[in-house]
Amino acid sequence: MAVERESVDTSEAEIAVHWGEENYVYPSAEFIAQANMTDPSVFDRFSLENFPNCFKEYADLLSWYEYWQTTLDTSDAPCWKWFVGGKINASYNCIDRHLAKNRNKTAIHFAPEPVGEKYEHITYQELYVRVNEFAALLRDFAGLKKGDRVTLHMPMVPELPITMLACARLGVIHSQVFGGFSGKACADRIVDSQSRVLITMDAYWRSGHLIDHKHGADIACDLAGKDGQKVDKVLIWQRYPGKASSPTAMVKGRDYFVNEELNKYYGARIEPERMSAEAPLFLMYTSGTTGKPKGCQHSTGGYLAYVTGTSKYVQDIHPEDVYWCMADIGWITGHSYIVYGPLALCASTVIFEGVPTFPDAGRAWKIAQDLNVNIFHTAPTTIRALRKIGPDEPAKYKFKFKHMTTVGEPIEPEVWRWYHEVVGKGTAAIVDTWWQTETGGFLCSTLPAIKPMKAGSTGPGVPGIHPIIFDENAKEIPRGAGKAGNICIQNPWPGAFQTIWGDRDRFVRTYYERYCKNPKSKDWRDWPYLTGDAAVEAPDGYYRILGRIDDVINVSGHRLGTKEIESAAMTVAEVAEAAVVPVKHDVKGIEPDLYIALKPGFKASEALEKKISDAVCSEIGKIAKPRRVWLVKDMPKTRSGKIMRRVLASISNKKDVGDVTTLANPEIVEDIRKMSK
Ligand code: WTA
């Protein structure tokens, strides 16, 4: 069956802590009084009987040039088309339509990492001007037009959303690569998306260092060129316009400083392209179970409607709110819930350049106090880190969150309680949002004013999302049975990605083949969407997510494929075999442990361990750095020669390895266990 599953013999879900059901915690009357959604009948309106027309409510939050005729077109199942016939522009919806009433309102608050640098407050008018001028540059200088792809490799600075919105204005498909990814990872994405323009920044601040980022662009262009994709132009924003912050030389005829070129487009205004609702807005690459990342293709109309609707009702964003999501825009969370959702709602969104624990444990709370942030959004890994270094810090600052989000991994009830009591000062409503790069927006969460919170549970499906749990034999696990299985979504929804860029077969195989009832069917009921997570549903309809069931791991909330890390290790000449397993970590959630068998004739050494670890960092990025590189004599294998990652995972997690007598080389298990003691 599915190629993508063949090799899974251990997964995150198996090492998950299966905590129990906690008691309900209720939102305050104060929160409910101001909430956007307080009507429990929303769940009837968004029931399966009212599907797909219920999503008109979300589409109507947007401004359309031409209203759509068909809510959902299933003729090319499972590539669903939403709001067909509609014409819309995302940049217009995030900027222009707010100008008449809110020109002077802050769209983006930028918090630079150096404490001595002032905040920047970009109004909607200024955002409009900067996006238009840069769109003119993209069109007239870089020659980009509707449907072209362009790769962005940018840090957390306002120029990133400006670039995204300028692309959206022209109908150019942006593909932002997380700034922390290496030049090599960027090259792979340039090649896959066939980008001939790369947009980057010369440098950015991280933990007190001004990091040379332009260097990555040179590697990316070089490697992409070798792989058949020439980059004609590299557009480089300068962290300090007019000042060189990177020692890397400019390549003549290829590299251009944006701020120098921009002068030529002073005062330019670009009419937004009237895009079909189903025209792609962006690609977001994500790790899958093979070494090759998948370009998740998101639509314009469906995606924007979904992130706007969920931002309004799940995150409770009002135009007057100051909203801070600490994710990186290089991940889907940042696209949906820093840029597109909040700006479509005319809120003020905060962009923070650096790490929230630098220079001290109070940094995040100082920013919250300074900017009067009232909605806060972050990942459990960050909450754990902030708690570890400064459990009492939040109390020292005068901020008051009305609402807080967590995303990316399961949150331990104990950590949840600290978040609620200390960060939320006992009054903020919390939503634990479960979703994925592929899904564009939230799948499960409580609705903050309607459903009580439950620590450690994500909650029920959000309006219009109908989860179902199947067992290994495609039998539905009865609702509320409290039994673990593979969580799927029964119905399509507008935020879902349209396909994997250039690889429809892989899209169908990975997400739909497993539980598809009839591959010829054009009826959405036959195509449950496989999320790749294990979950249990409690009798009250709340889900607890246990973790991935495949070769994907979540390291500090960053999604990585174990196969990607293994392929990176295999680039080292001495390596014969590589196996990555997930290990539990008290702050990062999960860390990768890397087991290596060397080719005959090579000796284990610390230098070699470092060489392999460095190779992983340069192939993928520092975020993928293994906890340890274990150079083992041999891998534990089945008689048919398959590496038993499950055994390695048990050793790494100090768990019982179980019965290994059926292995081809059972004696090696004890050897490896002794090493890791
Ligand atoms: C995990 C991030 C538990 C899950 C938006 C999913 C979660 C993967 C939660 C997607 C949560 C995300 N509770 N697990 N609230 N949110 N996950 O694509 O395993 O970077 O499949 O999207 O993160 O990661 P991705």
Q: What is the enclosing helix (H) or strand (E) of 108?
A: strand 106-111
31 Ramachandran zone, left/alpha/beta (phi>0; psi -120 to 50): alpha
Predicted pLDDT at 2: 37
Please give the single-letter amino acid code of residue 580: V
Predicted pLDDT at 13: 74
Predicted pLDDT at 8: 60
Token pair listed for 632: 């083992």
**Are 496 and 80 within 8 A, CB to CB?**
yes
Residues 6+ apart with CB under 8 A from 541: 460, 479, 480
Predicted pLDDT at 10: 66
- Taking the model in full, what pTM does it have? 0.95
Q: Which residues line ligand 1 (CB under 6 A)?
A: 286, 331-333, 407-410, 432-437, 458, 531-533, 545, 547-548, 554, 559
Q: Which of 12, 409, 488 to mutate to test the pocket of ligand 1 (most atoms within 8 A of CB)?
A: 409
CA of 248 to the centre of ligand 1 (A): 37
Q: Which of 377, 405, 436, 486 to mutate to test the pocket of ligand 1 (most atoms within 8 A of CB)?
A: 436
CA of 27 to the centre of ligand 1 (A): 24
- Closest ligand 1 atom to Cα of 12: 19
CA of 89 to the centre of ligand 1 (A): 28
Q: Please choose, from the candidates 589, 186, 551, the residue with its C-alpha nearest in 3D space to the C-alpha of residue 380.
A: 589
Give CA–CA dist 304/93, Å, rounded: 9
Residue 432 half-sphere exposure, CB side, CA atoms within 13 Å?
A: 26
DSSP 144: -
Predicted pLDDT at 42: 98
Predicted pLDDT at 289: 74
User: What residue ranges of the chain have pLDDT lower than 50?
Assistant: 1-7
Predicted pLDDT at 288: 78
19 Ramachandran zone, left/alpha/beta (phi>0; psi -120 to 50): beta
CA of 487 to the centre of ligand 1 (A): 13
Its sign, for the CA torsion 430, 434, 437, 438, is negative
Predicted pLDDT at 6: 43
